[in-house]
Amino acid sequence: MRLLLFAAPLLVSAVIPPPLPVHLNQLGFEPGDAKVAIVHGSDVPLAWKLVDASGKTVLEGRATLYGDDPASGGKYIQRVDFSAYRGTGKGYRLIVAGSESERFDIRPGIYKPLATDALAFFYHQRAGVPIEARFVGEKWARPAGHATELAKCFTGKDDRGIEWPACGYGINVRGGWYDAGDHGKYVVNGGITLWTLLNAYERRPDAFPDKSLKIPEAGNGASDLLDEARYEMEWMLRMQLPDGQKVRVPVGPFKPLAPGQNPWTATPADFAEINAGGMALQKVADRNWTKLPMPPQDDPEERLLYPPTTAATLNLAAVAAQCARLWKGIDDAFAARCLSAAQRAWAAALRNPEVLATNSFTGSGGYGDRDVSDEFYWAAAELLVTTGEDQYAQAVQRSRHFRDDVREPAWPSTASLGTLLLATRPALLPAAEVKRLQASVIAAADRFLTDAQGNGYAVPYIAKDYPWGSNSSVLNRAMILATAHDLTGNAKYRAGVIAALDYVLGRNPMNVSYVSGYGALSMQHPHHRFWAPSLDPKLPGPPPGALSGGPNSTNMSDAIAAKMKGQCAPQTCWADNIHAYALNEVAINWNAPLFWVAAWADSEKP
């Protein structure tokens, strides 16, 4: 009997669940912003209280029951809204049914350091120059990677056995940013990244003045944001082929897929010789993937240029046109050089509209794209805004994307970049068309807010599946929400922007800040070849401000993700592991919207 009496309390204690964490933005909040936390509790709304650093209760109430949440796999999701508190201070805690959040601040200017560090990421990713301790500290300083880069084109058989002929040229393509955790540099991904940084400058030119960043160009009299962007722009200009250059490449649509064939493995069209003058090369990268870890200065692989594509050419046309108008009056010679490059690229793309990228080469990302109509629309919009010429207005208005619904942009779907630009330049198109474009942006923002109500964590994103780089998808949606706020002044759109930031900074079922160095529990082990202390303790971890790609429930291709396949809800398919490239890589086109959104949140006060 005594054994039974003794066993009973142990049995009861074994089934009592541990206190669940309080999920919220671990950085904190602007005083006037929406402030929402998520907890998993019971089917009865839980009592909560907000306490300051001294432990004094400053606000209390009861949570709102949401219910079960397939996106996060959570039961009895409850939302705690403490937006009514407008005080300021450091070290606040939210206590819900005995569970405490991490400490956080409520103060003005909370997003400014995040914007600065997210932008500093790009200096860390520079190729061709040493990353200097005077700018980043001894921990992250390193010698130049690929200091000289006179590369020749890929020749021979690719992964599928397709024979690529010699091109007969070599080009010095030094500089630019490493794309992600590898050593590749890609024009397509560089395009959307560069556009995002330049768009942030165009929206608020005074936000990052000279000497506001720790970069070599500080003190030259120009905006440091423009200086950082120019480093990539100069590289993209080097990737443009000279007039009259002939190459043999696949021309035309991909061949029909076999039943059940993955579109990424589609067979390209037959080879033909083209006049590729003015086209942009797709990428420069290693012949083979390098092992982990591998600081760029130690890279032993042969560097190769990969064939020009229409998509890369139109990316160059778009951002070079953007460059031409933004540097005008700052460096007129550079602005003229950019405009010439943009016009040459546009003409080359019209001449070669179906030179499509393939995913056929090992050692680098493919960035294959079978539809470049969106890039044509985007490039035409940028050239129209820069030049005002009717040919570009006609190209814009003939495009099907001119009347498409707005969606979050990504490197393979750039049409929304053109619409976001045209919707904020009312003098360039008929007033009725501008009004329609603006309504399309606002309608997209409203859809995103509806999506936020359809998942327990109130993320302005779809609830069903999360793709590769999902955190950037969430933040690219936030850019559209921010633009809707700019157009309407409606506070609900700012609240949507803040919800996106809340999610990546800790209000997620992983209870982690996906931004390194921000929050009590932040990402530490990205898939990266030189931020790799888990593999080599002499190497540093990520600097503050690097964004993890985030949950990926649709393409779980690495060994870490493969073990999770079918075992995780979409928002929980993530691991902080250097080998988890499908879940935890960093990339320039992911950090760019983090910077844009953080800079917007700082500049547009609630």
Give tens-digit pLDDT for 334-355: 999 999 999 999 999 999 999 9
> Percentage of the chain with pLDDT > 70?
97
Contact 74, 66 (CB under 8 A): no
Percent of the chain with pLDDT over 90: 90
Q: Given this model, what pLDDT does residue 2 score?
A: 27
Query: What pLDDT was estimated at residue 42?
Result: 85
Tell me: pLDDT of 6 over 70.
no
More confident position, 46 or 3? 46
- Give the residue-averaged pLDDT of 448-462: 96
Residue 5 has a pLDDT of: 30
Of 12-26, 439-453, 543-557, the range with the lowest mean pLDDT is: 12-26
pTM (predicted TM-score): 0.96
- Chain-centre distance of CA 321, in angstroms? 22
How large is the average pLDDT for residues 24-52? 96
Fold of the 147-174+183-429 domain = Glycosyltransferase (1.50.10)
Mean pLDDT over residues 47-64, rounded? 98
DSSP string across 366-410: ----S--HHHHHHHHHHHHHHH--HHHHHHHHHSGGGSSPP---B
> Does the pLDDT of residue 263 top 90, yes or no?
no
Is the pLDDT at 9 greater than 80, yes or no? Answer: no
pLDDT of 265 reads: 82
Question: pLDDT, tens digit, for every residue of 565-595?
Answer: 999 999 999 999 999 999 999 999 999 999 9
Helix (H), strand (E) counts: the chain = 16, 18
The residue extents of the domains of the chain are 22-106, 147-174+183-429
- Of 597, 589, 599, 595, the C-alpha closest to 193 is 589
Give the residue-averaged pLDDT of 230-249: 98
Per-residue pLDDT of 311-321, as tens digits, reads 999 999 999 99
Q: What is the structure's pLDDT at 360?
A: 87
pLDDT band at 16; cut points 50, 70, 90: very low
494 pLDDT higher than 80: yes
Other CB atoms within 10 Å distance of the CB of residue 515: 28
Q: Is the pLDDT of residue 438 over 70?
A: yes
Strands 28-29 and 104-106: parallel
Q: What average pLDDT does range 80-101 have in this prediction?
A: 97
Query: What would the DSSP string read from start to end of 117-149?
Result: HHHHHHHHTBSSS-B-HHHH-TTT-BPPSSSS-
Catalytic annotation, residues: 182, 527, 576, 585
> What mean pLDDT comes out for the span 464-478?
97
Q: What's the pLDDT tens digit per position in 196-225?
A: 999 999 999 999 999 999 999 999 999 999
Q: Which fold has domain 22-106?
A: Immunoglobulin-like (2.60.40)
